[in-house]
Amino acid sequence: MTSQRTRERLIQRLCEEGVSNSKVLDVIRRTPRHLFVDEALAHRAYEDTALPIGHNQTISQPFMVAHMSELLLEAGPLDKVLEIGTGSGYQTAILAQLVERVFSVERIKVLQDRAKERLVELNLRNVVFRWGDGCEGWPALAPYNGIIVTAVAPEVPQALLDQLAPGGRMVIPVGPAGETQQLMLIVREEHGFSRRVLGAVRFVPLLNGPLA
């Protein structure tokens, strides 16, 4: 179920789907995804598919985690990354092994509490958590070299654009909830922002307001 062979099959599939960053692939290979799903779904943990984690949320498909991480790191190493949507903590755990510091915001407290426990279990200590509204980001600690958003917004929140450092990169799905959305890469340049559409995706909606 969680054998090395099963993990290697997942890595092979990610390579076939176009993931080429060796650091990202190595981190996904060694990170125990089965710890981030309910025990009843652990036998499916290394399938390349999104899985439910309760509260109408999902753990993202491994390809999407790898793809978004790779896009974030495309221009080189990052020191300070803001994650919007801690969820299960799986994407958080992947990022924590790829960048210097991760600042993760989640509106559903019970999900974030579970994610914190999992990261402690994995001895990942370079993550700081905030329970709050992801649409607001984390302005007190801005700016960030990278921002990754794991829920879809109808448009890019201005607060997140404001918190991106010069040269910083944001990967975010944009579009209507429940329909096909577009994954976007936004880079803060000297005189504004460049935007690149990367393809169709489907994410749960980015909602306002914290939820205990």
Active site residues: 60
Cα dihedral sign for 127, 131, 61, 19? negative
The neighbour count for residue 116, using CB atoms within 10 Å, is: 17
Tokens of 94: 């992947």
Which residues does 198 contact at the CB level (< 8 Å), separation at least 6? 71, 182, 183, 184, 185
Burial 172-184 (b: 16+ CB within 10 A, else e): bbbbeeeeebebb
Query: How many residues in total does the chain contain?
Result: 212
Do the beta carbons of residue 141 and residue 103 sit within 8 Å? yes
